[in-house]
Amino acid sequence: MMYGYAWDTTTPLTFAISILPILGIGLLVTLKAAAVGYAIALVLGLVLALLRRSRFKIISWTVAGFTEFVRDTPLLVQLFFLYYVLPDFGIVLPAFMTGALALGLQYSAYTSEVYRGGIDAIPRGQWEAATALNLTRLQTYRDIVVPQMVPRIVPSLGNYLVSMLKETPVLSVVTVLDMLGLANMIGERTFEYLVPLSMVGLIFLPMTIICSALIYAVERALPKSGIPLR
């Protein structure tokens, strides 16, 4: 019995059906964590990418080093770091927020590389032309860089959303009751791990396949020549 839903362990099938509503509650947590984490990754990644282009060597090198470090160390350890070390500095966040923050931080290192690649792909001549035309920095980014960048970066950003979705179960380690966390709890109480864990895998599979298909559709729908912002 969990969240008011009792399970029926007579056969694997009835068990699977009876725990579906419980896993559904976990699924919402999984999706919420991925959404919050992805929002953090998109924004923080952009900040990192722009700082990396700073004229001051100290800033660009520090950011480059930070990004590389975050990219090459495990999410789980970063999660433990945030979960146990932040409270030492007086920052006490609920487990869910810590988890979303860890996801966002790890993936901001990836997205910053995507943004950087997108900006670098703009030919030098266009930057020079923008200078020659006396465009401001804002105008250059808004009217020249971003419109061409978007179709190029959407596929990679989308792929990272799918990977992030698949990494959310790690959050169950710090007591977040996502799908895997709930499946484990059901397993502990019924001594039946096979059905709950298989169900989690079976729910993830169509989710990731549909997400990938959607991203592919968006990728094909975007005009290669760019999207005007105005």
- In the complex, the residues that contact another protein under the rule CB under 8 A are 69, 71-78, 80-81, 84-85, 88, 166-170, 172-173, 180, 184, 187, 192-194, 197-198, 200-201, 204-205, 208-209
Surface-to-core class of residue 52, CB atoms within 10 Å of its CB (0-12 exposed, 13-18 middle, 19+ buried): buried
Q: What's the min distance (Å) between Cβ of 173 and another protein?
A: 6
Nearest to 96 by CA among 144, 43, 28, 198: 28
- Closest by CA to 103, choosing from 53, 45, 54, is 45
Contact 88, 81 (CB under 8 A): no
Closer by beta carbon to another protein, 77 or else 217: 77
Is 220 within 8 Å of 158 (Cβ atoms)?
A: no
In the bound complex, what is the minimum distance in angstroms from residue 55's beta carbon to another protein? 27
Q: In angstroms, what is the minimal distance from the CB of 121 to another protein?
A: 18
CB of 80 to another protein, least distance (A): 6
Q: How many residues does the chain have?
A: 230
Q: Which is nearer to another protein, 118 or 169 (CB)?
A: 169
Cβ(107)–Cβ(160) under 8 Å?
yes
Specify the residue, 130 or 171, whose C-beta has the smaller distance to another protein.
171
- The residue among 106 and 140 lying less far from another protein, judged by its C-beta, is 106
